Amino acid sequence: MRHIKFMTASMLIAAGLSSCNLFGQKDTMKMQSSERTVETKNLLINLGTIHQKGFMFGHHDDPVYGIGWEGDADRSDVKSVCGDYPAVMSFDLGRIELGGDKNLDKVPFDKIRREILAQYARGGMVSLSWHVDNPLTGKDSWDVSDTTVVASVLSGGANHQKFLGWLDKVADFMNSLTTDKGVKVPVLFRPWHEHSGSWFWWGQNLCTAAQYKALWKMTYDRMQEKGVNNLLYAYSPGTEPQTVEEYLERYPGNDIIDLVGFDTYQFERQKYIDQLNKSLTILTEVGKKLGKPIAITETGFETIPDATWWTETLLPVISQYPISYVLVWRNAREKDNHYYAPYPGQVSAPDFVKFYQNSKTLFVRDIKKLYD
């Protein structure tokens, strides 16, 4: 496997380069806040240059449970198959807003914190999504029975103060991600995802474009007010855009967003390939236009019944584009037939090993100097 050394911010400056110059883009990427930690700034730079070597592979909830197990130390279905951890791990903060000790998938927040610190110690990266409950109805993120939820949490809305308190709980968690040496671990925060669909209370048909952008700005501003300086922010629609303009219809702005991506899943092979190619073509153009790194923030084929899916469907498409990472969804331990990464004995496991061995795929052992 390959070992990759990244250029830090100071090295880039000394060389007279910007991350966007290396990414083949105009020099528009900016460090949004001088208060960001050095490690967070370096991560942003390296997300913009990593495509020169390959793309990182990611898996949601990778080290906390898998098929037939939960909570085992140093275990991962991905690691059990290929001997290595994903370069990117993602976790979810849903229900942290309620003050409980576990998220919506019953993973303790203390466990998530420990795994974030462990992934940082390995040299890998972490992304956090937030399936936040509906603050108006008290039901989950998928409750779309009322179209006034976003309006209710914005300034002047009936749930505004309540929601600021929810944001404060997120901020407290982000600020708690500190190593024994006092380093705040950088994470890529991906709230308000899949907004181009209408299955979440912040979705396309549940609020106006102006309200959605205001929701993002309120989230970003509150994190800033609470001293959260270890975050990068990702924008990730959940339906296939037809044009650059459609993709950017609800974009909150370059002053907030650091990485652009999208979520998509396979249901029919050729349609998935066609959608991936079209979406990645548009996303590449968006990345160049805005000066942002790009990623496939969620994807996968549930149960992976195709024995060669990794090397004959996914890899041939995504290796053509300058993505920083691709992430597949979780291997649920509480549901039958709800998994997106292979486990020992799964039909696509041998092909996943070939995927792992490909020179373009980057796992945690391949990642060096991502933050320093």
Q: Output Rg (C-alpha) for the chain, integer angstroms.
A: 19
Q: Residue 191: give its domain's CATH number.
A: 3.20.20.80
pLDDT of residue 372: 83
Per-residue pLDDT tens over the stretch 296-320: 999 999 999 999 999 999 999 999 9
Residues of the chain with pLDDT under 50: 1-34
Total domains in the chain come to: 1
pLDDT of residue 14: 33
Q: What's the whole-model pTM score?
A: 0.92
Q: Are 25 and 52 a contacting pair, CB within 8 Å? A: no
d(Cα 63, Cα 176) in Å, to the nearest integer?
A: 20
pLDDT of residue 180: 97
pLDDT of residue 30: 42
Residue range of the domain that includes 260: 4-368
**Measuring CA to CA, how many Å separate 227 from each of 37, 221, 292, 293?**
11, 10, 24, 25
Coil, helix or strand for 153? helix
pLDDT of residue 368: 87
User: Which amino acid belongs to residue 305?
Assistant: P
* Tally of CA atoms within 13 A in the half-sphere of 108 that contains its CB: 6
pLDDT of residue 28: 37
pLDDT of residue 305: 98
